[in-house]
Structure 1
Amino acid sequence: MDLSRLRALRELSVRKTMAAVAEALLVSPSAVSQQIALLEQELEATLIERRGRGVSLTVAGEQLVQRANRIFAELEAARADIAEIKKIIAGELRVAAFPSVAAALMPSTIRELSRLYPRLTIQFDEMEPEESLAALRSWQTDVAIIDDLNVPAGALDPNVETVPLIEDVFNVMVPQKHRLADRPTVTLEDLKEERWVIDTASSHYTKMLTDACLAVGFTPQITARCKGFEVTVALIREGCAISILPGLRASHDLEDVWVCRLAPEIRRRIFLAFRQGEKRSPTLQAFISQVQAQVATNWPLSPPAAS
């Protein structure tokens, strides 16, 4: 069987539409459809069923994907074996991370790895945790930086291993002239009458904030929804709203924004995720070590994420 056809089927099992698979594999939807059709013709079996705009796998398709997962896992393990024997840190390592952790850690990590290992190239893609985990499962990235807010432990694929990285504490961000400015800590009750701006990149983040407010007796008055930090912090800076954002965001220069701790704390755990059996790769080990070094240097008082 052709590996590219198996890869297309595996992608389809995760992404559910021909268009999404085509985007991930950098080919046209018709090319994906042709790959699946050729695989079905070769096996003389129906592997997919169309459901509206998407597709679902038949029993035969599901079984083939399970076999394909093991095949690709063995191929990656073989590559790791050879890399371990050669002890060479070179080539390309693909990394996916969500914006807050990426902005805080990736520039310094990539810089240091480039200095230490000139033959190694880090190919970075900004992705939300669920998206990066899907990319990891489908061999579109080698390392995914995820958190337990968006990817609970029970949602992890058994073929994915994780390494704890850091625990991130959420902070309250208000304008410098806000009534709560200069206070080291605030409670959710203190924010009951405030107007809120939220980052909508993650629905889990929105739900977490809403549930936390409901637990103390109020629904947050959300007056702005943004897809990124730049607009969010601009609205806070100009006194239009307040927000609760990851502590890693406060690692940047936030001119005219007051950052204070929330009591009681809301935390998330951040992990490095990679395919099972690949930790032996010297390249992956070098990346893990360097990210951990950056955490230890820049956040020495922050506890590592629990295993």
Structure 2
Amino acid sequence: MDFFRLRTLRELSRRETMAAVADALGISSSAVSQQIAQLEDETGIALVERRGRGVTLTAAGRRLVEHADRLFAIVEEARTDIAALQNIVAGDLRIAAQPSSASSFIPAAMRQLAIDHPPLDIVMTTMGPAEGLAELRVWQTDVVVADDITLDPHTLDDAVDRLFLCRDQLFVLLPVGHRLENEPVIELAQLREERWTLDVASSAYCKTIRQACRDAGFEPVINGFSDSFEVIFALVEAGCSISVMPGLALRDFRGSLIVKPLAPPAYRSIHAITRRGEGRNPKVKAVLEQLARSGSRGAGEG
């Protein structure tokens, strides 16, 4: 069986549409269909079936994907072993990161890696942790940078390794002139009468903040949802809302806001996630080490 066709089937099992697979693999939708049809010819059994606009795998297709997962894991282990023997930090490496990390300490890490290892070519893409993990599992990215609010560590399987990078404190954002601007710290209960704007780049983060408000005895009144830091800052600056944001997201903000720590202090932990065992690969090891150094220097902890 052809490896590229197996990879196409694996992608289809996760993305569910031919168009999404085509985007991931850089081929046309018709080429995806051809690859699947050829794989069905090779195996002599139906591997997919159409349901509405999407495609689902048959029992045989799901079983073949399980075998393909093991095959690709073995191939990746072989690549890692060869790279470790060569002990060369070079080649392409892809990082998937949530926006607050991508705009804070990761650029510094990339700049230092370019100085230390010129043959290493790094490409960073901002995306949510769930999307990043999906990309990691199908070898579309090599390192995922995510926090433990937007991605529950308990949902990670044995196929990945996790490295702690830094701890990031959460802060309350208030407009200038707010009644609480002279308070040294702010409890959530003090914000029960406020209107809120929340970051919805991750539904998990939004749910976490709302649940924290409920635990403090109130349901937050929300008048703004956005996946853009700039929009959230603008709404708070204009006096429309207040918000709670991680320190890394505030690192380069140059506007006029009142920033106060929560009481008790609240934090999130940021990790780098890789496929199991790939930390032995010299280029992955170099990137992880530099991310940890840059993360510890750039963390938004008060």
TM over 0.5: yes
Do the aligned partners of 1:182 and 1:258 also contact (CA within 8 Å) in 2? Answer: no
CA distance change for structure 1 residues 294 and 237 in 2, over 3 Å: closer, same or farther?
same
What does the per-residue CA deviation read over 1:227-282, in whole Å, with 9 as the maximum and x for residues that have no partner? Answer: 21111111111212110111211222342011111122333222111111211111
Partner of 1:202: 202
What does the per-residue CA deviation read over 1:50-93, in whole Å, with 9 as the maximum and x for residues that have no partner? Answer: 22222222221111111111111111111111111111111111
Alpha-carbon distance in structure 2 between the residues aligned to 1:215 and 1:298: 31
1:300 shift after superposition: 9.5
Do the aligned partners of 1:197 and 1:242 also contact (CA within 8 Å) in 2? Answer: yes
CA distance change for structure 1 residues 186 and 273 in 2, over 3 Å: closer, same or farther?
same
Partner of 1:173: 173
3-state SS, counterpart of residue 279 of structure 1: helix
Alpha-carbon distance in structure 2 between the residues aligned to 1:297 and 1:179: 33
3-state SS, counterpart of residue 278 of structure 2: coil
Using structure 1 for the length normalisation, give the TM-score.
0.93
Alpha-carbon distance in structure 1 between the residues aligned to 2:270 and 2:194: 29
Q: Supply the AA of the counterpart residue of 2:290.
A: Q
1:182 shift after superposition: 3.2
Identical positions, percent: 46
Partner of 2:270: 270
Partner of 1:163: 163
In structure 1, the gaps of 5 or more residues are 303-307
3-state SS, counterpart of residue 186 of structure 1: coil
Partner of 1:305: none
3-state SS, counterpart of residue 104 of structure 2: helix
Partner of 2:106: 106
Alpha-carbon distance in structure 2 between the residues aligned to 1:43 and 1:266: 54
1:129 shift after superposition: 0.4
Do the aligned partners of 1:200 and 1:226 also contact (CA within 8 Å) in 2? Answer: yes
Do the aligned partners of 1:175 and 1:239 also contact (CA within 8 Å) in 2? Answer: yes
Partner of 1:64: 64
Tell whether 2:129 aligns with 1:129.
yes
Alpha-carbon distance in structure 2 between the residues aligned to 1:43 and 1:177: 70
Q: Supply the AA of the counterpart residue of 1:38.
A: Q
1:145 shift after superposition: 0.9
Alpha-carbon distance in structure 2 between the residues aligned to 1:265 and 1:13: 42
Alpha-carbon distance in structure 2 between the residues aligned to 1:264 and 1:215: 13
Tell whether 2:112 aligns with 1:120.
no
Q: Supply the AA of the counterpart residue of 2:189.
A: E
Q: Supply the AA of the counterpart residue of 1:39.
A: L
CA distance change for structure 1 residues 245 and 192 in 2, over 3 Å: closer, same or farther?
same
Partner of 2:230: 230
Partner of 1:290: 290
Partner of 2:34: 34
Instruction: State how many pairs are aligned.
Output: 302
3-state SS, counterpart of residue 141 of structure 1: coil
1:199 shift after superposition: 1.6
Alpha-carbon distance in structure 1 between the residues aligned to 2:300 and 2:191: 30
Do the aligned partners of 2:200 and 2:206 also contact (CA within 8 Å) in 1? Answer: yes
Using structure 2 for the length normalisation, give the TM-score.
0.95
3-state SS, counterpart of residue 50 of structure 1: strand
Partner of 2:281: 281
Do the aligned partners of 2:169 and 2:301 also contact (CA within 8 Å) in 1? Answer: no
Q: How does 1:218-257 map to 2 (within 5 A)?
A: 218-257=218-257
Tell whether 2:46 aligns with 1:46.
yes
Tell whether 2:5 aligns with 1:17.
no
In structure 2, the gaps of 5 or more residues are none
Alpha-carbon distance in structure 2 between the residues aligned to 1:19 and 1:263: 47
Partner of 1:139: 139
What does the per-residue CA deviation read over 1:90-147, in whole Å, with 9 as the maximum and x for residues that have no partner? Answer: 1111111000111111110110000111111111111110000000001100111122
Q: Supply the AA of the counterpart residue of 1:219.
A: E
